Amino acid sequence: MGSTATAKALEDFTKQVGGRKFSVLFDQLQAAGLRPLGKSNTGTLLFQYVADSGLVHDVLAFRRDPAVLSFPVSFWQDRKDQRLKLCEAFQPSELLSPVKGVGSQSNNSAGQIAVSKQTLERLQDLCKALCDSLESLRQY
């Protein structure tokens, strides 16, 4: 990856204090075929699924401050039931209010979950369930 914005974002997330929790999730997502995308003008690391057709889906995003996993509106607006099912294992205090960003829909969140030592195992389960379900997007 060299010195790209994505490589820098991955390093920023995983090499700082508490970075292990992010690297566990990132390794899992990348092993399932999702690709990270970091941008130099934001503290967000986006994970994308690329369908066989080449269509790119913004599936998950991560932020460090506060440490959250976010569900981009661009993907999740039509998949609310699936997102709610993925979030069932989390307490209301771990589910954070959606964020309305500026600009494209990928900057908006349909919901967020706090990333912490207490949520890490459940987030791994969520990522596995999500990645298993992405096969249905392959043809799109």
Fold of the CATH domain 5-134: Aspartate Aminotransferase, domain 1 (3.90.1150)
Gyration radius of the chain over CA positions: 14
pLDDT of residue 2: 46
pLDDT of residue 16: 76
Where in the chain are the domains? 5-134
pLDDT of residue 39: 77
pLDDT of residue 139: 53
Q: What is the mean pLDDT of each run of 10 residues along the chain (140 residues)?
A: 78 81 93 90 89 90 90 93 95 85 64 94 96 74
* Paired strand residues for 58: 48
119 close to 126: Cβ distance less than 8 angstroms: no
